Amino acid sequence: MMVRARRPLVAGNWKMNGLRSSAAELSRIIQGAKELGAVDLMLCPPATLIALFAAAVAGSAVRIGAQDCHAEPSGAFTGDLSAEMLRDAGASAIIVGHSERRIHHNETDADVRAKALAARRAGLCAIICVGETHGERENGRALAVVERQLDGSVPDGATAENLVVAYEPVWAIGSGLTPTPADVAEMHGLIRERLQSRFAKEGQATRILYGGSVKPSNAKELMGVAEVDGALVGGASLKADEFLAIADAYR
């Protein structure tokens, strides 16, 4: 068996999907998690379900995360949720800077960095997303774009505890398309280099996930790429059997 430097993490991002009745899917994930090998499982449901799901996973190996937060701890920000509130509801991590937030809510690298710091302030791990558009890859700018996003979005003082990076090419999200293993290796290698040069040993220990159209059929290949420490899964995480089959790539 291959010995890994970092414990893999497979995280599911439910986006704006899920009702209280979806707890049945979570129960299947909790059950299935018992059969898995050495891999961390996390589910990031919509905020309305965090408290319910956090109660359901208590005592299991599954963790619950949030999909976004406001940078401030409290205040007059109608409709927003702070990292402290998400922690209070039972989240142990927060996805920040997902491309859907960057695109639909105009979030900049500075916004994402502030949100990552908010997660840290609340004692939570920030899962910071970066990734190029199709046009940027076509123009040969993918590496430069991701390097800029990474440098701008990841706050100083990051550790393997308070940071996970997710490389998610925008064009691969929900499209069924994925980069070649060589392209994933090149990007994850660059991300590792940047993390190591900024955070030394902590940068070496920080997990870097791949995200974008991860499915049971391609999980083994993508998860087998150097410097890929797990997956951030959208669509396929809505079905317990698909999500578990992806995590099973680490058996």
- Half-sphere exposure of residue 29, counting CA atoms within 13 Å on the CB side? 29
Shortest distance (Å) from residue 200 CB to ligand PGA:
28
- Going by DSSP bridges, is the β-strand pair 40-44/230-233 parallel, antiparallel, or unpaired? unpaired
Cα dihedral 96→223→233→68 (10° resolution): -10
Shortest distance (Å) from residue 35 CB to ligand PGA:
23
Shortest distance (Å) from residue 104 CB to ligand PGA:
12
Identity at 193, one-letter amino acid code: E
Q: What are residue 13's phi and psi, to 5 degrees?
A: -110, 105
Q: Does 232 bind ligand PGA (CB under 6 A)?
A: yes
Buried b (16+ CB within 10 A) or exposed e, 44-75: bbbbebbebbbebbeeeebbbbbbbbbbeeee
Question: Which of 32, 97, 131, 211 contacts ligand PGA by CB under 6 A?
Answer: 211
Q: Does 233 bind ligand PGA (CB under 6 A)?
A: yes
- Residues 216 and 232: their CA atoms lie apart, in Å, by 13
Question: Which of 126, 212, 225, 250 contacts ligand PGA by CB under 6 A?
Answer: 212
Which residues are identified as catalytic? 98, 168
Q: For ligand PGA, which is the closer residue by CB, 105 or 201? A: 105
Q: For ligand PGA, which is the closer residue by CB, 10 or 236? A: 236
Closest CA to 131 of 172, 91, 94, 95: 172
Question: Which of 111, 168, 227, 242 contacts ligand PGA by CB under 6 A?
Answer: 168
Q: Does 66 bind ligand PGA (CB under 6 A)?
A: no
Cβ proximity of 84 and 50 under 8 Å? no
Burial class (CB in 10 A: 0-12, 13-18, 19+), 93: buried
Q: Does 12 bind ligand PGA (CB under 6 A)?
A: no
Q: For ligand PGA, which is the closer residue by CB, 45 or 212? A: 212
Question: Which of 8, 9, 10, 13 contacts ligand PGA by CB under 6 A?
Answer: 13
Q: Residue with CB nearest ligand PGA?
A: 234
List residues binding ligand PGA (CB under 6 A). Answer: 13, 168, 173-174, 211-214, 232-236
